[in-house]
Amino acid sequence: MSNPQLIMYDEEFKQINVVLEKLLREANAKVIFLVDKNGQLITGCGETERFDTTSLASLTAGNIAATGGLAKLIGEKEFSILFHEGEKDNLHISIVAGRVILVVLFDTRSSLGLVRLRVKKASEELTSIFTKLLEKSEEKEKSGDSEFPFAEITDDDIDNLFS
Amino acid sequence: MSFINYASREINCKIVYYGPGLCGKTTNLQYVYQKTAADAKGKMISLATETERTLFFDFLPLALGEIRGFKTRFHLYTVPGQVFYDASRKLILKGVDGVVFVADSQEERMDANIESVENLRINLIEQGYDLDKIPYVVQYNKRDLPNVVSVDELRRELNPTGVPEFEACATTGEGVFETLKAIAKLILFDLKKGK
């Protein structure tokens, strides 16, 4: 498969959140999200409760997928940075480690230059965390130590979801 | 692919509704949206044209509850059915965990159904998936209309491998949840098997 399943563990989840919190402060941003390329929200920090984070994640991934399609049409691998300018709020969207999307929402208290600069630094840190994360889940899979929560799942469990 | 988060104890899965133009993919999602409790669903997003034809996708997040202490979320997507939106359809199949093929039972749409299944198979291959190996169910929609093809014939043309199939009328909701439940079940059992 093109993209192996993304599995997040406590340790890396905490490390990622530390990087995002730092980026939030240093870039003077309002909200930061990290989204899987498939449209699933990984984590966020800042004023997240003000936004419909699930929709935001899905549309961001759709946006990246669509611009990625455009890139291929003109012979580019991908457009790794997207910037959307609004009247008050702006979105800076970038691809990290080839598979996750970093979304930074900021207003006039910050600037595109500052955000770009800080995102670049944070991306390097996130890339190393995600590289480790992928290695870790591969290792666990190989050793059969996946402690998968659904191993004992039954028909009834699923029926209950729809009751 | 599904996203398993051990830190927040969540599992997210992506289901894509595929099928020819005007077969009722969006209507399936709208019915699920209407009938789901407010606390179990997010906002439904439709990226559609002014004439309400799907332009890019519809999206409906469902958080149905917990299994074994893990919050289980399903993200439902539709593709634009019209033939010329093929580039967009490919993008939406990225990271899919399960596919629902919605067939239009009307006689005059039979060719469109066949073409769409073929298109699904090809587009999945491009993303590295095999239709015969991923969780997949078929829905024969619009059974309430007068000019429908028999289920036997639909099965012969569209479901030769005998995956779970459902008769439906998405406007009244008949068969909609049965279809969704079947694909959810296949996905979760597939996850279990894969481990």
Average pLDDT over residues A54-73: 92
Q: Report domain extents, chain A.
A: 10-161
Contact at CB, B1 and A4, closer than 8 angstroms = yes
Distance from CA of A12 to the nearest CA of B (A): 9
* Residues of chain B neighbouring A54 (CB-CB closer than 8 A): 42-43, 61, 75
Of A156 and B168, the structure prediction assigns the larger pLDDT to: B168
pLDDT at position A3 over 60 = no
> In this complex, is the C-beta atom of A157 within 8 Å of any C-beta atom belonging to chain B?
yes
Query: Do B102 and B77 touch, CB atoms closer than 8 A?
Result: no
- Dist CA A54 CA B75 (whole Å): 9
Chain A, nearest residue to B129 by Cα: A1
Contacts of residue B160, Cβ cutoff 8 Å, sequence gap at least 6: none
The domain defined by A10-161 folds into: Beta-Lactamase (3.30.450)
Q: Looking at residue B177, what is its pLDDT?
A: 96
CA distances from A54 to A35, A41, A60, B95 (A): 10, 6, 10, 16
Which of B57, B127, B188 lies at the smallest CB-CB distance from A153? B188
Q: Do A1 and B5 touch (CB under 8 A)?
A: no
Residue B24 Cα, gap to closest chain A Cα (Å): 22
Q: Identify the pLDDT of residue A1.
A: 38
What strands lie across the sheet with A100-106, from one edge to the other? A41-46, A31-36, A100-106, A90-96, A81-85
- Specify the pLDDT at position A90: 97
Quote the tokens at residue B46.
């439709």
* Mean pLDDT calculated for residue range A56-80: 92
Mean pLDDT calculated for residue range A58-83: 92
What pLDDT sits at residue A17?
97
pLDDT (average), residues A34-59: 92
Nearest CB among A8, A68, A152 relative to B5 is that of: A8
pLDDT value for B20: 97
Phi and psi torsions of B122, nearest 5°: -65, -45
Q: What is the pLDDT of residue A44?
A: 95
At residue A2, the pLDDT reads 45
Mean pLDDT across A116-138: 94
Residues ≥6 apart with Cβ < 8 Å to B124: B93, B96, B99, B130, B131, B134
B chain contacts of residue A62, beta-carbon cutoff 8 Å: 47, 56-57, 59, 91-92
Total residue count of chain A as it appears in this document: 163
pLDDT at A146: 59
Task: Give the pLDDT band of residue B147 (cuts 50, 70, 90).
Answer: very high
- Contacts with B138 (C-beta within 8 Å, 6 or more apart), sequence order: B100, B101, B103, B158, B159, B163, B164, B165, B166
**Mean pLDDT value across residues A81-99:** 95
For residue B147, give how far its alpha carbon lies from the nearest alpha carbon of chain A (Å). 33
For residue B195, pLDDT beyond 70? no
Q: Nearest residue on chain A to B16, judged by CA atoms?
A: A38
- The confidence band for B8, taking pLDDT boundaries of 50, 70 and 90, is confident
Q: What tens digit of pLDDT does each residue of B180-194 get?
A: 999 999 999 988 876
The CATH code that applies to domain B3-194 is 3.40.50.300
- When pLDDT is averaged across residues A44-60 and rounded to a whole number, the result is 92
CA gap B111, B113 in Å, rounded = 5
Taking residues B87-103, report their average pLDDT: 95
* Among B102, B106, B108, B107, CA closest to B158: B102
Q: Residue A46 has which token pair?
A: 């800042």
Which whole number is the average pLDDT over A137-143? 81
Distances (CA, A) of A106 to A33, A88, A110, A126, B16: 12, 9, 6, 20, 33
Does the structure show a pLDDT above 60 at B44?
yes
d(CA B70, CA B86): 35
Q: Tell me the sheet residues that pair with A44.
A: A33
What pLDDT was estimated at residue A137? Answer: 84
Nearest to B12 by CA among A139, A62, A54, A117: A54
Which string of DSSP letters, residue by residue, matches B48-105? E-TTS-EEEEEEEEEEEEEETTEEEEEEEEE---SGGGHHHHHHHTTT-SEEEEEEE-
* Mean pLDDT of the residues in chain A: 90
What pLDDT score does B141 carry?
Answer: 98
Q: How far is A161 from chain B (nearest CA, A)?
A: 6
Q: Identify the residue with better confidence: B129 or A150.
A: B129
